[in-house]
Amino acid sequence: MFIRIVKMSFEASKIELFLENFNANKEKIRNFEGCNFLQLLKDKNNPSVFFTYSYWESVEHLEVYRNSELFKTVWAKTKILFNNKPVAWSVDSIVSLP
């Protein structure tokens, strides 16, 4: 399992559109095969910056999702709202304390 973090920055006037799209699809994304956790975070200092934080069973599961109609539909509606290029990281957890 690994963690995928995606940083997205939006035009202030487009944040509500992003949130509507995310909320309409969050259960589908979370329930996609191989996704074990999904969280949306907002930067404390810049309200236009959001992060998705998700746990995936494998890189292959993430790739299947990224090639799915669900991802293509959600991403098409999301990427037109950006005011900066998104940045993504795939990371492994080294230490996790409850």
| Cα separation values, 64 from 4, 34, 46, 86, 94, Å | 14, 9, 32, 20, 25
| pLDDT-based confidence at residue 58 (cuts at 50, 70, 90) | very high
| pLDDT-based confidence at residue 74 (cuts at 50, 70, 90) | very high
HSE of 19 in the Cβ direction (CA atoms, 13 Å)?
Answer: 12
- What's the confidence (pLDDT) of residue 30? 98
Instruction: For domain 2-91, give the CATH number.
Output: 3.30.70.100
pLDDT tens readout for residues 10-39 = 999 999 999 999 999 999 999 999 999 999
Provide the residue ranges of all domains of the chain, joining segments of one domain with +.
Answer: 2-91
Tokens encoding 18 = 């992003």
Could you tell me the pTM of the whole model? 0.94
- What's the confidence (pLDDT) of residue 9? 98
